[in-house]
């Protein structure tokens, strides 16, 4: 029997391919049940008008009981959005990817949440301590012990 | 979705004052569920945190994490142990706990099945006790049939909670397949035994899937009748009242979040079961060793017995009587 993880991802993928992604999100690659890539842009009048970002989801065998590792891709073509919760290496500090993750959330739901995180941004700036974080950051953002700042930091 | 009102405090590097060589006036702590460190070997610690600023639940979580990390082999749910094993652990501790343990033993509750303290212990305990009772039922076919039809009948509530079917169906199937296997042999011709039941609950994928299903069911029940729970939805950290959506998302659906009265009542109601919880909490003003039982009565059948759990502050285990299994 297929694992819970691959059964669930197969269903999510079917939904994405039959019903389409949320507006502003495009599936770039989902050839396996380990890594999926999306492009993401924020529509309407926001600080990120005209910018397109690339999102990477990595799933372990515990998905969806454990959260996916989600980050913006930084390469020759793409940069991480300049946002107080996004480090320049693409790591995102968001409680729904950490201690507020629940199996009710899905890949689509995470995309929409990140879109609205960008849409509500008032000031384009990197998190405090960005350089220091990026210098020592692990490859997988799930290995970072982010400190979600209580009531002020829930996205 | 909650908007952020200010930027997060950033993670910072810390190379001194780590737990092993902590100076007296320095109480930095780890604040995450991920027991991992930087590749460089430097963990990120919020330097502005002070242990005195922590909420009781955060302290509890931290202790629990430390405990789990130091005892990595502790099973998700354990073999049945004699109450005397639990008693030994309190022998040098509080006398009121000892009196309460003796009270329970005298009352016939002479064994305990312990669960890992991972925040899912209530759901795991209930699930285990639920299936075990079906397994020991004098008429398993009847008992399994009525349990499955009760579970089936909660489907409209799950869709009513606007969960996508893919969110709950695999988890639900995991639970119903296990229950079914009490009476219907699997592909190898085997039906559920006490040992294979324990195996299923010790195996993380099936065990955690069942926990998630019960969490979704609990959340759906709360969402289906908000008036019944309004006024009781509190943030466990500060007792501030929460919106139903926030409460369900962060304190019911998210794994690893401990259950309290609201969740216990909602789950008992959804499954139509009676749950009885013995409070081993050291609160014993008369020093007679009395233990309070909290009962959640939702079974239609008035002769239905209760699933009995043992509560110690922040943790649930299954409480049992050895005599009832012989």
Residue B32 has what pLDDT? 38
Contact of B51 with B27, CB cutoff 8 Å: yes
**Domain definitions of chain A by residue range:** 4-138
Look at phi and psi of residue B314 and say left if phi exceeds 0, alpha if psi is from -120 to 50, else beta: left
Query: Could you give the 3-state DSSP secondary structure of residue A143?
Result: helix
Superfamily of domain A4-138: Ubiquitin Conjugating Enzyme (3.10.110.10)
Taking the alpha carbons at both ends of chain A, their separation in whole angstroms is 35
Query: Could you give the 3-state DSSP secondary structure of residue B114?
Result: strand
Residue B133 has what pLDDT? 96
pLDDT by residue (tens digit) across B43-67? 333 445 555 555 556 556 666 666 5
Q: B121-273 is classed in which CATH architecture?
A: Up-down Bundle (1.20)
Strand-by-strand arrangement of the B111-115 sheet? B77-82, B111-115, B315-320, B307-312, B274-279, B292-297
Among A84, A98, A102, whose Cβ lies nearest the Cβ of B255? A102
CB B39 to CB A15 under 8 A? no
Query: Could you give the 3-state DSSP secondary structure of residue B78?
Result: strand
Q: Does B238 touch chain A (CB under 8 A)?
A: no
**In this predicted structure, which of A13-17, A85-89, B24-28, B258-262 has the lowest mean pLDDT?**
B24-28
B278: number of Cβ within 10 Å? 22
What residues in A contact B28, CB-CB < 8 Å? none
Where residue B167 falls among pLDDT bands split at 50, 70, 90? very high
CB A103 to CB B167 under 8 A? yes
CB B8 to CB A127 under 8 A? yes
Strand-by-strand arrangement of the A53-58 sheet? A25-29, A35-40, A53-58, A69-72
Best-predicted range by mean pLDDT among A133-142, B89-98, B193-202?
B193-202
pLDDT at position A92 over 80: yes
**Domain definitions of chain B by residue range:** 121-273
Question: Average pLDDT, whole number, for chain B?
Answer: 83
B318 prior amide bond cis, ω within 30: no
pLDDT by residue (tens digit) across A93-145? 998 998 889 999 999 999 999 999 999 999 999 999 999 999 989 988 988 87
DSSP H helical ranges for B137-260: 140-152, 155-160, 165-180, 194-202, 204-224, 226-229, 244-248
Mean pLDDT of B262-290: 92
**Quick one: which of B80, B77, B65, B112 has its CA closest to B207?**
B77
Q: Measured between CA atoms, how close is A89 to chain B, in angstroms?
A: 14
The percent of chain A in helix, strand and coil, each rounded to the nearest 5, is 30, 15, 55
The per-residue b/e assignment along B179-216, b for 16 or more CB within 10 angstroms, e otherwise, is bbbbbeeeeeeeebeeeebbebbeeeebbbbbbbbbbb
pLDDT at position B71 over 60: no
**Quick one: which of A82, A80, A98 has its CA closest to A141?**
A98
Where residue B33 falls among pLDDT bands split at 50, 70, 90? very low
Token pair recorded at residue B132: 């075990």
Residue A146 has what pLDDT? 78
Where residue B114 falls among pLDDT bands split at 50, 70, 90? very high
Maximal C-alpha separation, chain B: 63
Among A65, A113, A152, whose Cβ lies nearest the Cβ of B255? A65
pLDDT at position B4 over 70: no
> What pairs with residue A40 in β-bridges?
A25, A53
pLDDT by residue (tens digit) across B136-162? 999 999 999 999 999 999 999 999 999
Phi and psi of B74, rounded to 5°?
-60, 125
**Catalytic residue set of A:** 93
Among B6, B9, B166, whose Cβ lies nearest the Cβ of A8? B166
CB A100 to CB B33 under 8 A? no
Residue B240 has what pLDDT? 92
User: Is B237 or A33 the better-scoring residue by pLDDT?
Assistant: A33
d(CA A115, CA A134): 23
pLDDT at position A74 over 50: yes
d(CA A67, CA A106): 9
Residue B11 has what pLDDT? 46
pLDDT at position A5 over 70: yes
Interface subset of B 255-274, CB within 8 angstroms of A: 255-256
**In this predicted structure, which of A124-138, B129-143, B185-199, B311-325 has the lowest mean pLDDT?**
B311-325
Percent of chain B with pLDDT strictly greater than 90: 65
Mean pLDDT of B74-98: 91
The label of the residue with tokens 């502050």 reads B313
User: Is A150 or A53 the better-scoring residue by pLDDT?
Assistant: A53
Where residue B26 falls among pLDDT bands split at 50, 70, 90? very low
d(CA B182, CA B133): 11
Q: What is the dihedral of CA B242, B245, B249, B251, to 10 degrees?
A: 30
Where residue B282 falls among pLDDT bands split at 50, 70, 90? confident
């Amino acid at each position: 029997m297929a694992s819970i993880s691959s059964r669930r991802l197969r269903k999510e993928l079917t939904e994405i391919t039959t019903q389409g992604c949320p507006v502003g999100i495009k599936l770039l690659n989902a050839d396996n049940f380990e890594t999926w890539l999306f492009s993401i842009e924020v529509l309407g009048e926001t600080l990120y008008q005209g910018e397109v970002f690339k999102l990477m989801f990595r799933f372990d065998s515990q998905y969806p009981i454990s959260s996916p590792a989600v980050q913006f891709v930084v390469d020759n073509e793409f940069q991480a959005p300049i946002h107080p919760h996004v480090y320049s290496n693409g790591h995102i500090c968001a409680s729904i990817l950490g201690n507020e993750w629940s199996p009710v959330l899905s890949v689509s739901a995470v995309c929409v949440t990140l879109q609205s995180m960008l849409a509500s941004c008032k000031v384009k700036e990197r998190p405090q301590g960005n350089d220091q974080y990026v210098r020592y950051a692990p490859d997988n953002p799930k290995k970072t012990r982010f400190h979600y700042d209580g009531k002020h930091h829930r996205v | 979705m909650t908007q952020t009102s200010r930027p997060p405090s950033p993670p910072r590097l810390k190379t001194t004052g780590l737990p092993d060589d902590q100076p007296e006036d320095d109480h930095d702590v780890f604040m995450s569920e991920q027991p991992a460190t930087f590749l460089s070997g430097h963990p990120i610690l919020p330097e502005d945190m002070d242990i005195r600023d922590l909420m009781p639940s955060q302290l509890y979580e931290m202790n629990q994490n430390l405990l789990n990390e130091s005892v990595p082999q502790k099973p998700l749910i354990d073999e049945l142990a004699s109450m005397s094993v639990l008693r030994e652990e309190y022998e040098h501790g509080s006398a009121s706990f000892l009196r309460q343990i003796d009270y329970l033993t005298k009352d016939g509750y002479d064994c305990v099945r312990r669960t890992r303290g991972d925040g899912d212990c209530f759901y795991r305990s209930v699930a285990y006790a639920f299936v075990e009772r079906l397994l020991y039922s004098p008429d398993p076919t009847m008992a399994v049939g009525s349990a499955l039809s009760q579970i089936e009948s909660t489907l409209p509530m799950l869709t009513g909670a606007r969960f996508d079917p893919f969110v709950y169906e695999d988890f639900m199937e995991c639970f119903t397949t296990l229950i079914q296997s009490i009476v219907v042999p699997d592909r190898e011709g085997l039906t559920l035994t006490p040992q294979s039941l324990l195996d299923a609950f010790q195996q993380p994928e099936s065990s955690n899937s069942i926990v998630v299903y019960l969490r979704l069911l609990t959340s759906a029940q709360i969402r289906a009748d908000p008036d019944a729970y309004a006024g009781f939805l509190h943030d466990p950290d500060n007792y501030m009242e929460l919106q139903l959506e926030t409460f369900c998302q962060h304190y019911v659906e998210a794994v690893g979040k401990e259950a309290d009265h609201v969740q216990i009542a909602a789950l008992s109601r959804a499954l139509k079961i009676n749950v009885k919880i013995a409070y081993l909490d050291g609160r014993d003003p008369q020093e007679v060793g009395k233990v309070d039982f909290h009962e959640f009565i939702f079974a239609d059948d008035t002769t239905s017995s209760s699933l009995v759990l043992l509560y110690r502050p922040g943790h649930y285990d299954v409480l049992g009587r050895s005599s009832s299994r012989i």
